[in-house]
């Protein structure tokens, strides 16, 4: 089983993949080609994806039962003691222009003093 997920890729690449795989949702392709065809498709994705992102997942004989490859994703696969995990980038805290208001909120004042 092979799954290819495309994001922000040219329509021509999507049309090319429909020759070998079935598009079950926009940008999501699934099928069962041989390993040679899968590698050729992945090479074509790398060649024609331009600024788009791509993810390839396929079944294999390992502990997880599958493996995957990415192209231009912020999340990267990392091998951790034989298991492939996803490393997400650290999120940076957002800096707001003004500080949050101090003191009691209106709802808190109503609850405290019983005013409704």
* Domain annotation covers residue 100: no
- Pairwise CA distance, residues 45 & 71, whole Å: 9
* Domain annotation covers residue 112: no
* Domain annotation covers residue 115: no
Please check whether residue 56 is in contact with residue 68, taking contact to mean a CB–CB distance below 8 angstroms: yes
At residue 30, the pLDDT reads 97
* Domain annotation covers residue 81: yes
- Who contacts 35 (Cβ-Cβ below 8 Å, separation ≥6)? none
Domain containing residue 32: CATH number: 3.30.70.240
At residue 96, the pLDDT reads 61
pLDDT band at 94 (very low <50, low <70, confident <90, very high): low
Following DSSP, what letter does each residue of 24-37 receive, concatenated? EETTEEEE---HHH
* Domain annotation covers residue 37: yes
**Phi then psi for 55, rounded to 5 degrees?**
-135, 130
| Domains of the chain: total | 1
97, pLDDT greater than 80:
no
The better pLDDT of the pair 80, 30 is held by 30
* Domain annotation covers residue 97: no
| pLDDT, mean of residues 77-101 | 78
| pLDDT, mean of residues 75-102 | 78
Mean pLDDT rounded to a whole number for the chain: 87
Please check whether residue 5 is in contact with residue 42, taking contact to mean a CB–CB distance below 8 angstroms: no
Handedness of CA 48, 90, 2, 38 (dihedral sign): positive
Span 13-26, pLDDT tens digits? 999 999 999 999 99
| pLDDT, mean of residues 94-101 | 66
Please check whether residue 53 is in contact with residue 73, taking contact to mean a CB–CB distance below 8 angstroms: yes
At residue 72, the pLDDT reads 87
Helix, strand or coil, per DSSP, at residue 61: coil
The percentage of the chain sitting over the pLDDT mark of 90, rounded to a whole number, equals 49
- Who contacts 28 (Cβ-Cβ below 8 Å, separation ≥6)? 3, 4, 5, 6
The better pLDDT of the pair 99, 78 is held by 78
What domain range is 57 assigned to? Answer: 2-87
* Domain annotation covers residue 93: no
* Domain annotation covers residue 116: no
């Amino acid at each position: 089983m092979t799954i290819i997920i495309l994001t922000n890729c040219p329509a021509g690449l999507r049309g090319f993949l429909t020759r070998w795989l079935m598009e079950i949702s926009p940008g999501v392709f699934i099928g069962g080609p041989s390993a040679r065809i899968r590698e050729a498709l992945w090479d074509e994705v790398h060649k024609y994806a331009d600024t788009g992102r791509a993810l390839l997942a396929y079944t294999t004989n390992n502990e997880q039962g599958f493996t995957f490859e990415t192209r231009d994703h912020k999340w990267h696969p990392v091998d951790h003691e034989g298991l492939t995990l996803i490393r997400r980038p650290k999120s940076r805290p957002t800096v707001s222009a003004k500080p949050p208001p101090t003191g009691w909120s209106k709802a808190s004042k109503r609850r405290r003093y019983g005013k409704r």
